Structure 1
Amino acid sequence: MNVLSALGSVNWIAVLLALLVCTVLGGVWFAGLFAGPYARALGRDSVPKPERPALFFGGPAVANLVIATTTATLIGALRIEAAGDAVVFALVVGIGYLAANTVVIAINPNMPRPLSYSLISGAYHLVGTVATALIVVAF
């Protein structure tokens, strides 16, 4: 199956469920489990939390929608149907693209702790991608 026909056969219920799971996971991950280490990685542990504009909430949701749609499209194009194959796919994409790209983004003069940021954010993307892939193959 080619990518364009795979995009046409995406199960949008699975994509929306994956979006919901990744959105909740992001809230738990960044505001709960790793709130302190994430603030330190950003160099914001000693400053008040900034005001959160709509982009703070909407931007990640749109990006996660694109990631879930892309994941579903690739899984369809590659004809991945088994949970084990979905996990392997998610690990390859999650480590090879998402986590690696997080490291590239983090290594700049404006990021005080790029490795901490990369570990926290990269791990979130990896877990989210595995969850998305499993949801997509379950549908």
Structure 2
Amino acid sequence: MNVVSALGSVNWIAVLLAVVVYTVLGGVWFAGLFAKPYATALGRESTPKPTQPALFFGGPAVATLFVVTTTAALMSALGIETVVDAVVFALVVGIGYLAANTVIIAINPNMPRPLSYSLISGAYHLVGIVITALILVAF
């Protein structure tokens, strides 16, 4: 199957559901479960939480739509139809692209604790992509 055919076979209901779940997971992950360690990783543990513009909420959801759509197209092109294959695929993509890219982004002079940031954010993306792959294969 080529990429155009794979995009044409994407189940958009599954994509939208996965985007919602992945986005909600982000809110729970960063504002709930790991709020303090995340603030520490960013070097903001002693500063008050600033008011966030709409981009802070909408931007990640739009980017997640691209991640989930790409994941759906790749799963379709590769013929991934079983839960086991979906999990293996998600682990490869999650570790090889999402978590690794998080580390690349974190290692810069503006990130006070790049390894903590990488662990928190990389783990979020790994969990998010596994859930995404499971949703996509279920549909």
TM-score normalised by length of structure 1:
0.99
Q: Which residue of 2 aligns with 1:31?
A: 31
> Equivalents in 1 of 2:135, 2:3: separation in Å?
19
Q: CA RMSD in A?
A: 0.4
The structural deviation recorded for 1:7 is 0.4
> Equivalents in 2 of 1:60, 1:127: separation in Å?
16
Task: Report the secondary structure of 2:7's partner residue.
Answer: helix
> Equivalents in 1 of 2:98, 2:23: separation in Å?
16
1:5-44 alignment runs, 5 A limit: 5-44=5-44
| Structure 2 spans left out of the alignment, 5+ residues | none
Q: Which residue of 2 aligns with 1:64?
A: 64
Amino acid across the alignment from 2:16: L
1:87-102 alignment runs, 5 A limit: 87-102=87-102
Tell me if 1:3 matches 2:3: yes
Give the count of matched residue pairs.
Answer: 139
Runs of 4+ in 1 over 2 A off after TM superposition: none
> Equivalents in 2 of 1:109, 1:50: separation in Å?
22
For residues 28-58 of structure 1, the C-alpha deviation after alignment (integer angstroms, 9 at most, x for no partner) is: 1000000000000000000011110010001
Task: Report the secondary structure of 1:110's partner residue.
Answer: coil
TM-score normalised by length of structure 2:
0.99
The structural deviation recorded for 1:4 is 1.2
> Equivalents in 2 of 1:22, 1:97: separation in Å?
16
